[in-house]
Structure 1
């Protein structure tokens, strides 16, 4: 009995040590960026691992103004928000239909989405740019949201289909017997049950849209339409020799994502766990 308990204690200790080690590796670079964001460029070059002798808060003021983050954050929120709404509506309806095989050729549609996940977006950049330029939509944030929605749709559909598969069919059948329409079934019966899936898809799509560079740098031209990511990357040429300003800008970029994920991590983990039950 004692031997078994001792083995369990040693196993728990070793597990926690491994987790602590992994956490240090993951958080170390972020903490180093935060630390160096309060130092001068000379201090960073001299010793990037040292503590700042004087906290240079002006680095954040300069980074905020130079990166035009006041405009960039608004554009990023608009871009991510529109993309999330489009994907949630389309993927939810598609997942509901494909989970119940309510149309002919459902398996073929699933194969199509699976193949679409393997096709790189780079193949479509030129025709997309030609079409966007012809329609005078270069620099139009909602139009770019449609492109991001299309790239995120295959994975979102697969995830939402998985969540709908986990909903007992008896719930829908009972609602149908009570005279509920398809819209009422989806909104009042299915939506509350698959809400963890909606949160999971929203987080994944939101983070992808927020950090996206290739598509936004191609179609969002002009500083007025720059996202926060493009504003940060535009500083490389101006402040490539001043690491302190770039570190402060990186913290400004990272902070909203970290805060957002910490606030919704419980729902995100629960959604990923419940969505992995059935495929």
Structure 2
């Protein structure tokens, strides 16, 4: 499978963010990718209002992403916001492409490091996987990466690849934690991990106008990691498209040599 990691930096403007998705999806398709992964909050960056732009999966923004995927004959994963309960939104990953249509609502909300995602976001409740050309792929969003059980649940549901879309918060030690967690989740689940984060706005001289200081706007460091925890590609802080070939067929051999899923006990 050839996949692309689109480490973009989004802002408040939905139309501008949609154009970034179109641009990077076109570049991914030109490079021969079957799948292009965008970060969390691709619809609108954190630090901006969310309730006023949240829309259902058949709304205009999601429909435009769906049209891009159909036009280019490529599967797209992108973070957006859908309506939740009590005036909140859901932090949703839209997955759309040839014969594929699903979504995942972020389960673990980022109430940490001075940011309270649960103030404005309604949590999802169920893991989600999808099948792309015979490869089962699981979904996760940002703070989910700190919770191994989601990744092993996806693996037990057949996932050979876990996608993590993020807008990782900056701070002391946070880049190191991201690297550690992404690689650990690959080993926990003996699956490839495709971790796509928002780039660091500071890397291109940006700071979101009116953004909340504690809002997680991204640090970059997107990565693709092997089932044994070896980085296959690691990006820096700036916007970038990385195209990577992975072979999901190796999963059977890896799980035979390292049967952590089969050996696991519950307490």
Name the TM-score class by shorter chain. under 0.3
More strand by share: 2
**Higher Cα Rg: structure 1 or 2?**
1
TM (normalized to structure 1)?
0.23
Larger helix fraction of residues: 1
| Structure with more relative contact order (C-alpha pairs < 8 Å, separation 6 or more) | 1
